């Protein structure tokens, strides 16, 4: 990073100023404290929507790029430079810790993670050994470098939740109906519980590596859990998710929980132990707050497809989100899911500036 590109608050040494991230708008919002403006970051902000990302990734497979600290660092920093978002999200994939412990899988372009031998029997569980920090030394290195480069901009750690990881492992890849996953969950609840428990330990270890290297917050992605009814979530998923959140609670960093299509599960996502509950675009923020209950910040929730509309329409929809979030205990502006690959990067940059400006005009004076 050049001096002109370096996020504000960073010393010339490349190390963050003491306590700089603690006073960031993002972490203040996570803690439900007053903010000078509504903080903004985007899921999948580092990725295919950026031409600099596509150029950097040319000829490099996805999993390889996740295991190279130089690429992880640069890719994570790209949207911070371009969009001036309030937080960076560690560039990775939810299957990285599974690959690190020896599961035979690959991320196939246009398909997603594909597992060579799905896990469907008790004997298969033995392939899920514990994750050791030495398995992911590249994560420790990349996070350490990023913390120095980001300065006052917080870094969010990243991991997949036990249910979503289990779905990939049991199905052998992405699934529309999760038939094998649900068959195992309903048909052999003891094996299902053992599978999620092992995945909870692996996920916890992966998040601990990132936090101990310097991540300021962590987000647990449960991309597919919206496929479940609330009773099934409470009985068959919540214990494992809670185990992950409990495992990292002692670090004192904010814990964010997000899933897609989880309008009926919002209260349970918070109950699992999250400090911040992510909301997709299907439920207005004020209604989401009612469902989650007091004591939690919320994150969301502009429909990613809105960014393809004219600028005035994007701003109008952003106003709707901000208005619905007015008066919440804490609000982090985000999309209701990840940035779509063909999104115009300039639309994201304009949106960040708009939310900052619009929300600052409504915010009380805050000393930071």
Give me the active site residues, please: 44, 48, 57, 93, 168
**Residue whose pair of structure tokens reads 């350490």 in the numeric block:** 144
Do residues 336 and 300 make contact, with C-beta atoms less than 8 angstroms apart?
yes
Question: Beta strands 112-115 and 105-108: pairing type?
Answer: antiparallel
The two tokens of residue 362 are 């409504």
Q: Would the annotation count 180 as a binding residue? A: no
Q: Would the annotation count 93 as a binding residue? A: yes
User: Shortest CA distance to 15 belongs to which of 186, 144, 158?
Assistant: 144
Q: Would the annotation count 45 as a binding residue? A: yes
d(CA 46, CA 78): 7
d(CA 156, CA 250): 17
Q: Would the annotation count 61 as a binding residue? A: no
Q: What are phi and psi of 280, to 5 degrees?
A: -80, -175
**DSSP class of 296:** -
**DSSP class of 17:** P
**Which run of H or E residues covers position 107?**
strand 105-108
d(CA 11, CA 266): 40
DSSP 183-248: HHHHH-HHHHHHHHHHHHHHHHHHHHHHHHHT-SEEEEEETTGGGS-HHHHHHHTHHHHHHHHHHH
Q: Would the annotation count 123 as a binding residue? A: no
Q: Would the annotation count 44 as a binding residue? A: yes
d(CA 315, CA 323): 12
Task: Tell me whether residue 2 is exposed, middle or buried, using C-beta atoms within 10 angstroms of its C-beta: 0 to 12, 13 to 18, 19 or more.
Answer: exposed
Q: Would the annotation count 48 as a binding residue? A: yes
Do residues 118 and 84 make contact, with C-beta atoms less than 8 angstroms apart?
no
Measure the N-to-C terminal CA separation of the chain; round to a whole number of Å: 25
Cα 368 to Cα 136, 148, 155, 302, 365: the distances in Å are: 35, 21, 19, 27, 10
Q: Would the annotation count 223 as a binding residue? A: yes
Q: Would the annotation count 46 as a binding residue? A: yes
d(CA 275, CA 7): 26
Do residues 177 and 237 make contact, with C-beta atoms less than 8 angstroms apart?
no
d(CA 163, CA 192): 10
d(CA 275, CA 277): 7
Binding-site residues sit at 44-48, 93, 168, 223, 337
Binding-site residues for substrate sit at 44-48, 93, 168, 223, 337
């Amino acid at each position: 990073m050049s001096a002109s590109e370096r996020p504000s608050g960073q010393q010339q040494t490349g190390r963050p100023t003491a306590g700089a991230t603690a006073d960031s708008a993002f972490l203040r919002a996570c803690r439900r404290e007053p903010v000078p403006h509504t903080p903004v970051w985007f899921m999948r902000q580092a990725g295919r929507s950026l031409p600099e990302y596509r150029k950097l990734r040319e000829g490099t497979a996805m999993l390889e790029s996740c295991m190279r600290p130089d690429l992880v660092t640069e890719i994570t920093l790209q949207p911070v430079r371009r969009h001036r978002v309030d937080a960076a999200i560690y560039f990775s994939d939810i299957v990285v810790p599974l690959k690190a412990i020896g599961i035979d899988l690959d991320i196939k372009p246009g398909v997603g993670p594909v597992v060579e031998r799905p896990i469907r029997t008790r004997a298969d569980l033995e392939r899920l050994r514990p994750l050791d920090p030495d398995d992911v030394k590249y994560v420790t290195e990349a996070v350490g470098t990023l913390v120095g480069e980001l300065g006052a901009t917080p870094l969010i750690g990243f991991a997949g939740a036990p249910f979503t990881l289990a779905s990939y492992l049991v199905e052998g890849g992405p699934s529309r109906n999760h038939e094998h996953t649900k068959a195992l969950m309903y048909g052999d609840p003891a094996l299902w519980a053992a599978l999620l428990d092992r995945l909870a330990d692996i996920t916890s270890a992966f998040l601990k590596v990132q936090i101990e290297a310097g991540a300021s917050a962590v987000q647990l992605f449960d991309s597919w859990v919206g496929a479940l009814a609330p009773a099934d979530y409470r009985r068959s998923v919540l214990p494992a998710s809670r185990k992950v959140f409990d495992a990292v609670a002692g670090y004192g960093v904010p814990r964010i929980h997000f899933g897609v299509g989880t309008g009926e599960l919002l209260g349970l996502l918070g109950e699992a132990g999250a400090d911040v509950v992510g909301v997709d675009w299907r439920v207005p923020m004020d209604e989401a707050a009612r469902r989650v209950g007091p004591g939690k910040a919320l994150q969301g929730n502009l429909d990613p497809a809105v960014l393809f509309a004219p600028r005035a329409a994007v701003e109008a929809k952003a106003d709707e989100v901000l208005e619905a979030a007015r008066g919440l205990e804490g609000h982090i502006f985000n999309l209701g899911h990840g940035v779509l690959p063909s999104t115009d990067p300039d639309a994201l940059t304009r949106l960040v500036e708009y939310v900052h400006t619009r929300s600052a005009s409504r915010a009380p004076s805050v000393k930071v």
